[in-house]
Structure 1
Amino acid sequence: MTAFAFRPMLADDLPTIKRWLEAPHVREWWHDPAEQFELVSGDLGDPEMAQFMVAADGREFAYLQCYKLGAKDSGFGPQPQGTRGLDQFIGEASMVGRGHGSAFVRAFADRLLADGTPRVVTDPDPANRRAIRAYEKAGFRRDRLVKTPDGTALLMIRDP
């Protein structure tokens, strides 16, 4: 079984994040790499946004951000106090399509829920079937379509 590690992202990781955001498989769903890089780098040090580099068996391959729901205008509607939102991408193309996304999201959400987080949510693009399937494999259920600042998204929920 693959062991996943979640290391807090540092400023030294920004060149890696930039390279990953420019990769075609990430750009397909995260869109403009320059705009996304500005957002991701701008969140460094924000106490409402926890950012992680994800490693599988010691090799960093993905980015994950976890935020308090009130921290940004999510458009998700009322949620239990303390709900956390997740966004992530696999940066290393060789790691896509191998089950790592659902596995590390499950591991991270399991940890949040075990520590008392009442709910974890995510909001993939409704056309991103691969992400939706990965979140379902990680224990999330489809809730409803929501309007977010980035457009229409599928709200997916994981409760304890």
Structure 2
Amino acid sequence: MLFQNGKLKVRKLTEQDKYLLAKWLSNPSVLEFYEGRDNPFDVDKVNEVFYASEEDEVKCIVEFEDNEIGYIQFYQLDDEMKKEYGYFDETIYGTDQFIGEVEYWNKGLGTLLVTSMVEYLVEHKQADRVVMDPQTRNTRALKCYEKCGFKRIRILPKHELHEGEYRDCWLIEYKN
């Protein structure tokens, strides 16, 4: 287990989790803001994207009351990404997350998850800042992140290809 905050646990992804990811990432409600409804995942695609990639993300499953409910990943920004976002020498981490079990939406668990992850990154990874780049139209997520102490920094125009269209995103940050 990576960390626990009360009934919330975050643990590293295991091989068995591919079935959960395929379930969540084939749900149109989840895909509306994460990957796109035109981009559903089956187990083969989950294997390719989450297990075969060489990227430096730490990929995790989120549990609440011992039920697997979602996914979160974090990664340290490399120099190229720092430059793109306008940062320099600091230690900066990014995160991406979703609650895959929709019956757990609107219960404060996203706020608990993001707050707990920020605390983990600041305390254990010495993060100076934590950044995310949600789509500007994802108002529910933005409200959650702002409750967690994130501030909107600037618009990233046409930053993410989503459902066949390049979408504007917000660069948001939590500054330690």
Give yes or no for TM over 0.5.
yes
Write out aligned runs for 1:1-160 (5 A).
2-30=6-34, 31=36, 32-34=39-41, 37=46, 38-43=48-53, 46=54, 48-70=56-78, 73=81, 75-115=84-124, 116-147=126-157, 148-150=159-161, 151-160=167-176
- Deviation (angstroms), 1:67: 1.2
Q: Are the equivalent residues in 1 in contact too, given 2:156–2:169 (CA < 8 A)?
A: yes
Contact preservation (8 Å) 2:77, 2:94: yes
State the TM-score, normalized to the length of structure 1: 0.87
What runs of 5+ residues in structure 2 fail to find an aligned partner?
162-166
Segments of structure 1 that go 5 or more residues without pairing to the other structure are: none
Measured at CA, do residues 133 and 80 of structure 1 come closer, stay the same or move farther in structure 2, by a change above 3 Å? Answer: farther
**Contact (CA 8 Å) 1:140, 1:157: kept in 2 or not?**
yes
Counterparts of 2:40 and 2:89 in 1: how far apart (Å)?
33
Q: Distance in 2 between matches of 1:72 and 1:41?
A: 24
Larger Rg computed on CA atoms: 2
2:92 partner letter:
T
Root mean square deviation, CA, Å? 2.4
Asked whether the equivalents of residues 141 and 158 of structure 1 are also in contact (C-alpha less than 8 Å), the reply is yes
Distance in 1, Cα, partners of 2:111 & 2:88: 23
Pairwise CA distance, 1:42? 3.5
Deviations 1:70-99 (A, max 9, x none): 188584232543211000000001101111
Q: 1:125 to 1:20 in 2, by over 3 A?
A: same
Of stretches 80-89 and 141-150 in structure 1, the one that deviates more from structure 2 is 141-150
User: 2: distance between equivalents of 1:149 and 1:125?
Assistant: 8
Q: Is the 8 A contact 1:7 1:53 kept in 2?
A: yes
Contact 1:80–1:118 (Cα < 8 Å) also in 2: no
Q: Secondary structure of the residue that 1:155 maps to in structure 2?
A: strand
Query: Could you tell me whether the CA contact under 8 Å between 2:69 and 2:104 is conserved in 1?
Result: yes
Paired residues of 2:79 and 2:88 also in contact (CA < 8 A): no
TM-score by structure 2 length? 0.80
SS in 1 for 2:106: coil
